[in-house]
Amino acid sequence: MKETVYLGIDVGSVSTNIVVIDRDQNVIIKEYYRTMGNPIKVLKNGLKALRDKIMDEMVIGGVGTTGSGRDLANFMVGADIVKNEITAHAVASSTYVPDVKTILEIGGQDSKIIILRNQIVSDFAMNTVCAAGTGSFLDRQAARLGIPIELFGDLALKSQTEVRIAGRCAVFAESDMIHKQQLGYSQEDIINGLCEALVRNYLNNIGKGKDILPPVVFQGGVAANKGIKKAFEKALNCEIYVPEHFNVMGALGAAILAQKEVENNKTKFYGLNIADIEFKVKGFECSYCPNACEVIGIYKDDILAARWGDKCGRWQNIEIESPLS
């Protein structure tokens, strides 16, 4: 008999993650792709790779989607549950670290803190209008210094002297870094300073007023960075736990939620062969009212299948033809 597995998809701004878990919530497959601004293509390729991998040995019993592209992914795959990333992250963490009290999550464009008490989310916060102190900022600085992001953390650990970098704003941090660099500070020290600045900014902004108690779990793509982990440990004065699947926790949470959602029912999943379907998006600006909503239509093999982006809901009815643009 084929093994029943559950699929979790997290379409984020920087990475698209696909996770497959078994009935006992063990991770069987996890894939981490860079979204590169093209979620449809990346997701399709990911599903293609998944199809090759699981062949005929497993059957997908349920699918959950999360991340900022969760609705798009839901439309493409037919998900059983579509959940925001905050809940998905909390679910995954509390499954693998049952007594977790604080979750620090830093992703590409988002960073969040989730406070749990007695396995229940009691409070959370997410960065608002500013993306300073998220993964994309580190990415950018790594590129500027010509260092692969993967080495960032190890370099930070080699730092000997403390260098203080302004962390309030990514733009200011960058100019501060350049100044320090021109004064001759070593690259390791500057990188470490940057890690500490990011952590300071995170704790002052998102962590402001939150009761951060151990056990603390640190997840999201940035958790790969040992420098940040160390900086958190220094700032919070407690051990920080980075779970094994730290970079796919959102997808993992979605998979767990899917398993719960489906239970013994049949999944709504369209099947892995959707990887062969041609998906296209075409947008237009609606001219019916001054809101001029940017409406997006998604086409499945050239047939309009769904539309969103309008405030009034006029275009949700796909019987109406899109205006020629």
Partner 1 sequence: MTIKVGIPRALLFYEYAPLWISFFNDVGAEVIVSDKSNKRILNNGTIYTVEDACIPVKLYNGHVLYLKDKVDYLFIPRIMGVYEKEYICPKFCGLPEVVKYSIKDLPKLINTKIDLTKSSNMKDAILNMGSYITTDKKRIISAYEKALIKYNEHKSSMKNTYINEQNEQIMIMGHPYILYDEYLNMNVIKKLKSYGYSCITPDNLDDDLVNEYANSYPGKIFWLFFRKMLGSCLYLIENNFFDGVIYISSFGCGIDSVVAETIERRLRRETNIPFMLMTIDEHSGEAGFNTRLEAFIDMLEWRKINENNISTHGNNLYSRENNIRGVRY
Q: Which of 119, 204, 265, 287 binds partner 1 (CB under 8 A)?
A: 119
Q: Residue 204 CB, nearest distance to partner 1 (Å)?
A: 13
Of the residues 123, 150, 154, 239, which one makes contact with partner 1 according to CB under 8 A:
123
- Structure token digits, residue 31: 């894939």
Query: What is the nearest approach in angstroms of partner 1 to the Cβ of residue 298?
Result: 16
Tokens of 301: 């093999």
Q: Where are the alpha helices (DSSP H) in the chain?
A: 39-54, 70-77, 85-96, 135-145, 149-157, 170-182, 187-205, 226-236, 249-262
Task: Tell me if residue 241 falls in helix, strand or coil.
Answer: strand
Q: Compute how many other C-beta atoms are within 10 angstroms of the C-beta atom of residue 147.
A: 14
* Residues ≥6 apart with Cβ < 8 Å to 194: 138, 141, 156, 165, 173, 177
Provide the minimum distance between the beta carbon of 253 and partner 1 in the complex, in angstroms, as a whole number.
9
- The rounded distance, in Å, linking the Cα atoms of 291 and 166 is 39
Residue 239, token pair as written in the block: 């051990």
Cα–Cα distance between 246 and 269 in angstroms, integer? 26
Nearer to partner 1, 146 or 290 (CB): 290
Within residues 232-261, the interface with partner 1 by CB under 8 A covers 256-257, 260-261
* Residue 265 interacts with partner 1 (CB under 8 A): yes or no: no
Q: Which of 126, 235, 238, 296 binds partner 1 (CB under 8 A)?
A: 126
Q: Does 49 bind partner 1 (CB under 8 A)?
A: no
Shortest gap between Cβ of 111 and partner 1 (angstroms)?
Answer: 12
The answer to the question of residue 37 lying near partner 1 (CB under 8 A) is no
184 lies in the site for partner 1, by CB under 8 A: no
Q: Nearest approach, Cβ of 68 to partner 1 (angstroms)?
A: 6
* 213 lies in the site for partner 1, by CB under 8 A: no
User: In whole angstroms, what separates CA 321 from the centre of its chain?
Assistant: 34
- Residue closer to partner 1 by CB (options 52, 123) is 123
Q: Which residues pair with 285 in a beta bridge?
A: 294
Is 137 a binder of partner 1 (CB under 8 A)? Answer: no
Q: Convert residues 64-93 into a mask of x (bound to partner 1 by CB under 8 A) and - (unbound).
A: ----x--------------xxxxx--xx--
Report the residue from 15, 65, 74, 94 that binds partner 1 according to the rule CB under 8 A: 94
Q: Which residues pair with 114 in a beta bridge?
A: 103, 124
Contact of 98 with 86, CB cutoff 8 Å: no
Positions that interact with partner 1 (CB under 8 A): 25, 68, 83-87, 90-91, 94-95, 98-99, 118-126, 128-129, 209, 256-257, 260-261, 289-293, 311
